[in-house]
Structure 1
Amino acid sequence: MKEMNILIVEDEMIVAMMIKLKLLDMGYGFAGHATTGEDAIKMVKEVKPDLIIMDIFLKGKMDGIDAASEILKSYVVPIIFLTGDSSKETRTKASIANPVGYLQKPFMDEELEYVIESAFCKAKSPAFKQMAQDISA
Structure 2
Amino acid sequence: MKEKNILIVEDEMIVAMMIKLKLLDMGYKFAGHATSGEDAIRMVKEEKPDLVIIDIYLKGKVDGIEAATEILKSHIVPIIFLTGDPSRETRVKASIANPVGYLQKPFMDEELEYVIESAFHKAKSPVFKQMAQDMAA
* TM tier, smaller: over 0.9
2:79 counterpart of 1:79:
yes
Q: What value does the CA root-mean-square deviation take over the aligned residues?
A: 0.8
2:119 counterpart of 1:112:
no
Q: Which residue of 2 aligns with 1:34?
A: 34
Structure 1 residue 38: Cα displacement: 0.2
User: What secondary structure, in the 3-state scheme, does the structure 1 residue paired with 2:21 have?
Assistant: helix
Q: Return the alpha-carbon distance in structure 1 between the equivalents of residues 40 and 53 of structure 2.
A: 10
Q: Return the alpha-carbon distance in structure 2 between the equivalents of residues 120 and 133 of structure 1.
A: 17
User: What secondary structure, in the 3-state scheme, does the structure 2 residue paired with 1:39 have?
Assistant: helix
Instruction: Calculate the TM-score normalised by the size of structure 1.
Output: 0.99
Q: Which residue of 2 aligns with 1:12?
A: 12
Q: Which residue of 2 aligns with 1:92?
A: 92
User: What secondary structure, in the 3-state scheme, does the structure 1 residue paired with 2:57 have?
Assistant: coil
Q: Which residue of 1 aligns with 2:132?
A: 132
Opposite residue 117 of structure 2, the aligned amino acid is E
Runs of 5+ consecutive residues of structure 2 not aligned to the other structure: none
User: What secondary structure, in the 3-state scheme, does the structure 2 residue paired with 1:59 have?
Assistant: coil
> How many residue pairs end up in the alignment?
137
- Taking only the aligned residue pairs, the percentage that are identical comes to 85
Structure 1 residue 10: Cα displacement: 0.1
Runs of 5+ consecutive residues of structure 1 not aligned to the other structure: none
